Each structure stands twice: as C-alpha cells, then as structure tokens.
Amino acid sequence: MSIEKMQLVNIAGLVKDLDAVLIRCSDSGCFHIESAGKIAGSGQGFSSLREDNPYLLPLKQLTELAASNGIELVTEEGTDYTEDSVIAMTTYIRGLSEKLADATERMKKASEGVSEGESALIQLNHLKGLNVDIEKINSCEHITVRFGKMPSESYQKLPYYDDKTFMFIDYDHDGEYYWGAAFAPDSFAAEMDDILESLYFEKVKMPEFLTGNADDAIEMINKSLADAKECMESCKAEKEQIIAAERHRLDRCFTILKAEHDNFELRSKASIVNGKFYIVGFVPEKDAERFKAMFDDLLGVSIVLKPADIDGRIKPPVKLKNNKFSEPFSMFVEMYGLPSYDGINPTTFVAVSYTLLFGIMFGDVGQGLVVALLGFLWWKLKGAKLGHIMTRLGASSAVFGLVYGSVFGYEHLLDPLYHAIGLQHKPLEILENTEIILYGAIAIGVALIVISILFNVITGFKQKDFERALFSNNGLAGLIFFGAILFALVYMILTGVSLFTPAYIIGLIVVPLIIMFFREPLGGLLKGKKFEIHGGIGDFIASNFFECFEFLLGYATNTISFVRVGGFVLSHAGMMAVVMALAEGANGGASLIVVILGNIFVMFLEGMLVGIQVLRLEFYEIFSRFYDGNGKPFEPVKVKYDEKIE
C-alpha cells in the first residue's frame, strides 16, 4: 500500500541531438515528460519550440487511405525509423492513393450502372406486352419523359391536374403502385417534376442506349448488367491485389510515421537556449539508472537525477504500487482521483474493506461461488478488471455464507458440516440475532472511521500539515473526541457505570472540541505564521461554531450510516426466505424453477445494490476523512499507435 518513488530527471544537450533523445525517452517506457518551461521559464532566454509537425500530413493521408479502403494498419516490430525519408513515404502514399482511387472510381461507376440497370429492368418488366419502341420515346424532341411508379393513393389525385400541360400514361398496376410514364413539353418539365414529386412519384432512369420494344430492351440491359458486374469484380480484385502487394510497406510506413509524429510532438515540451535543449520529467526510482544508461553513447547529452519533490514548481506524478490481491481495486481509487505524491495509497485498504463489507452484506455460499465464477469468466474472456474484482467478492460472499449457513437460500443444508466439526448449529442465525447484526455493523463502521482518521493523521504529518494532523475533526483532536464519547457509551452499556464525570468530559471531550474550534490559528502558530481574522471576530466565532456543530453531526451520521451493512444482511436473508416460501407453495418441478429464478433475481438485484452501497460507504464515509484525490497520473511517453489522427 504505497506510492512508487520517483526521481526528477533533467536532460540537457545540443539541439541536434534532441530527436534522438526524445526517441530514447519514448522507447524507455518509463519517462513521464513535463513542460520544461515550468522550471526554465523565459526570463533566462529559454523558449519553446513552435513548429509544424512535418509528419502530420503524410500520416493523415495514410490513415485516410487505409480508412477509405478498409485497411487496418498494424505496427511492425523492429522497424528502423531511418528506412524511408518522409518525402519518399509521402510520394509513395500519394501514388498508391491515386492508384486505389482510380480502381475505386471505376468500381463505383460500374456499381452505378448495375443499380440503374436493375431499376430499369423492373420498369421494363412492367412495359412487357406494350409494343413500344423505347428508342423513339427517348429520342422525342421538345418532349420530356419521366418513367417510374406512383402510389395508388397519388394516382387517384391525378384528375386534380387535368388543367396542367402534362399527362401520365400508366401501363401496369401491381396493387400498390401504378407504373407508367409522364410526358410534358420541355417548357413545362420543371413544373411537371414538382407535381410528380408532390405525388411521391419515384423516377427510374432508362439507359439511353436502349432500342426496340421492352423485350429487346430487357435483353440489352441484361447484357449490360453482366458487363458491369464483371467490371465491378475485376476492379475489386485489382484493389485487393494492390493492397495485398503493398500491405507490408503500408504497415512499415505507418509504424515509422506514427513514431516520428509522436516523438516530434514531444519537442514542444523542451526549452531551447543558445543552441541547447532542456528537458525535464520523472522516472520511477527503480528504473532511474537503467534510463540514464540509455544515453551513455550520446556524449553531448547530460542526465541529472534529483529527488522528485526537490522543486516545488513541478508536482511529481503518481504511480500506485499494489499487490496482486488489491491491484484490480485501483479502478475504484482512480474513479475518485489519485492520491498526492506525498499522500497514502489506499488501494489495499479499499480492497480489504470492500471485500469484507460485500461478503458480510451478501453472504451465501452458492450465490457467492456463482458470482466468483461469472467474474472469472468475464475477466478471462473480456479482460474486464471488474470481473477480477467479482472473483474476490464472490469468494468473500461464500466465506460469510458458511458463517450464516446459507446455500442458495437453503438455511440448513450445511448442518451436517457444522455437526462434523463439533458445532451444534450454524455460527449465526441471521433472523434471530438482529441486534447483534446491527450493533456489529456499527462496530465495523467505527473501526473503519478510526482507521480513516489515523490515515489522515499520517498523511498530515507526511505533508507537514499540522493543522490537518493534530487539530482538525479528522486529526488527533477529532480522534480523541470521537473515541472518548464512543468508549464511554460502550462502557456504560456493558457495565452500567457512567464515565461522563466532569474531568472526563472536560479533558477528553470539551478540550478536543475547543482545539477543533481554534484549529486554524493553532495550525498557523505551528507553521510560524501569524493568523489573521478576516471579517471580524464575530464571523470567526459564528463560522467555526457551525463548523464544529457540523463535525458533531458528521460523527453521528457517518457512524449510523454503517447500519445499512446490517440492514442488507437482514434484507438478503429476508428476500431468500420469501423465495423459499414461494418454492414451498409450488408443486413438483415448479418448486425448483421458483428457487432458480428467485436466486437469479436476488443475485443480480441485491448483488448490484450491495456493490453500489459499499462503494458509497468507501467514498463518502471513509475517503472523505483522509483522501484528497489531487494526484497527477504517471503517464510515460510512448508512441500511441491506437490514437486517431485529427
């Protein structure tokens, strides 16, 4: 449960070596780059590089070429960045793009011919039986002809246009459409088209080369269709051959251009002065020497390693260090925000507390094993981190199910097991021990709150924030106040003796409360700073009074909030009792179906609710006491081959 130690890296050298340095930084896989301007500034003559990326245009051309031709570009391992020049690659990409575009255009024209021919065939099939010469119709002078079909409802409206200078002659009717041709003088063609459009007339273009009657035209179109389809297949095969032949070089160009593009983008992070560059960043402490050794052959390049927090102008990035059990739970921590570099990594605490709370609230051997199995399959098949978490939660549910004696709602199925190990009955009968469960839930909440306050104290001391560590409601003063009240209440319940004597109240309750009231001036005093009251003494007293009152409410509500843990234990048992009661009322095989469906319903509904409620407890009742979530993620520079180029 720690945060990876970092070292600040300062890299300096001649500008001519800048690209080589950036490539090695990217290849290292462990260098988090920062803007050198944060440290160098402009007051000493430093400036940033503002350049157009020469690799952007050819890279965009390449990705557009790939996208338009259905090519999935992949990287090639071991590609030498110096294999091709950017000019040669740009020329190659442009030439290949033109070649593929030509084949695509020819295929598109052939496809349009197929589409037009098939539409014309439909029209001509409706012209069968009419002894008309298609060529004569198409060659009419001063007359515009529109072939197509019109919905039957629209056909009935044609009499409304008897006064218009056009006519519609139908030659077939299929029940839904009237097929025909509309004729009008050229001068009235535009108005005819408007009328036809209002009548939902669908035009069909008749090829100009058609001659003879409908049967002759159909024969000609069939031949034309065959030629067009053959052309389409030929163009498609041509494209596939070109792509197959050039695939290796395309992938090599993509690998080179993307690497060069991303590395060139890093140049903007460097500061330049007098022909020299300056780069700053962070590397994990364990990788520092390996990283430094990567530049041994660049004699003009200087690498200086320093403690990560030596310069307050630049905040170290955070890389969480977790064990195998807790690592999947880092997704919950990252949802809230990473801790500060000098903070505490709470992942292990979250992993343990979340797993235990889920198991307590959702205890059932059978359901827990099913959840674990589903999580394992989800993780293995889809690589989902949440599936990895489910395996742990399911195992926890199964363990607590052994304590409750519940297997898919059967409460006495494990009695032989308990008898075999010397127990007269299962360890805990839930519905008969509600008080124990609810008091136990509050006890768990108190323990988690105390641990959270201790984390806050430790973090405060690490960050030298003594107001936070000593005087705040989540500091030592708050811990003493909270602990004193709880201890006295528990002691009185167990023994009947009250510890609330004047000395106890003043020393362990009143004094810590006063310290919390004056936490700001006391914190400033320890820092050696003079505390100034803004807004007057009245505002200071009023605001701190209400804040202390809010602290008191917070202790109470946060503690009582954990009653929901016991509530879900009882809820789960109650829901399964209902399922089993319904099963008992069913006959024969229906009883088993009720049990199966009831378990599925409870697993999905209550399992999801419990998961959400535990996460709420983690974030609102625990994290809010010690966690700031202001950390900056550690993001080592690398070539992002999966990133889209805008």
pLDDT at residue number 646: 59
Model's pTM, two decimal places? 0.74
Reduced to 3 states (helix: H, G, I; strand: E, B; else coil), residue 173 is strand
Mean pLDDT calculated for residue range 580-593: 79
Tens digits of residue pLDDT in 279-290: 999 999 999 999
Q: Is the pLDDT of residue 81 over 60?
A: no
Per the model's pLDDT, the better-predicted residue between 365 and 49 turns out to be 365
Place of tokens 């011919």: 113
Tens digits of residue pLDDT in 41-71: 555 667 777 788 888 888 898 888 888 888 8
pLDDT at residue number 389: 93
Mean pLDDT calculated for residue range 336-350: 89
Q: Which of 73-77, 549-553, 607-611, 612-616 has the lowest mean pLDDT?
A: 73-77
pLDDT at residue number 78: 59
Q: Which of 190-204, 227-241, 518-532 has the lowest mean pLDDT?
A: 518-532
* Tokens at 603, concatenated: 């697993």
Tens digits of residue pLDDT in 314-325: 889 999 988 889
Q: Is the pLDDT of residue 129 over 50?
A: no
Which residues does residue 485 pair with via DSSP β-bridges, in sequence order?
A: none
Cα-Cα end-to-end distance for the chain: 40
Per the model's pLDDT, the better-predicted residue between 139 and 475 turns out to be 475
Where does 304-433 have alpha helices with state H? 330-336, 347-361, 365-382, 385-404, 415-420
pLDDT at residue number 240: 86
Q: What own/partner pairs with CB < 8 Å and gap ≥ 24 does 319-324 have?
A: 319/3, 319/4, 319/6, 319/284, 319/633, 319/634, 320/3, 320/4, 320/345, 320/347, 321/2, 321/3, 321/4, 321/345, 322/1, 322/347, 322/348, 323/348
How far apart are alpha carbons 286 and 295 in whole angstroms? 17
Mean pLDDT for the chain? Answer: 85
For 126, 165, 184, the CA distances from 196, given in Å and listed in that order, are 19, 13, 12
Under the banding of pLDDT at 50, 70 and 90, the label for residue 79 is low
Most confident of 83-87, 329-333, 582-586: 329-333
Residues in the chain: 646
How far apart are alpha carbons 144 and 182 in whole angstroms? 8
Going from the N-terminus, what domains does the chain have, and what CATH number goes with each?
110-229 (3.30.70.2750), 320-458+565-630 (no CATH), 464-561 (no CATH)
pLDDT at residue number 123: 62
Strand 167-173 relative to strand 143-151, pairing: unpaired
Place of tokens 């999580």: 375
Under the banding of pLDDT at 50, 70 and 90, the label for residue 417 is confident
Q: Which residues contact 256 (CB under 8 A, 6 or more apart)?
A: 79, 81, 83, 84, 89
How far apart are alpha carbons 73 and 63 in whole angstroms? 8
* Tokens at 206, concatenated: 């008749």
* Tokens at 475, concatenated: 């500091």
Q: Are 3 and 319 in contact (CB under 8 A)?
A: yes
* Tokens at 646, concatenated: 């805008």
Q: Is the pLDDT of residue 528 over 80?
A: no
Q: Is the pLDDT of residue 394 over 90?
A: yes
- Phi, psi values for residue 297, rounded to 5°: -85, -10
pLDDT at residue number 179: 77
pLDDT at residue number 51: 81
Mean pLDDT calculated for residue range 284-302: 91
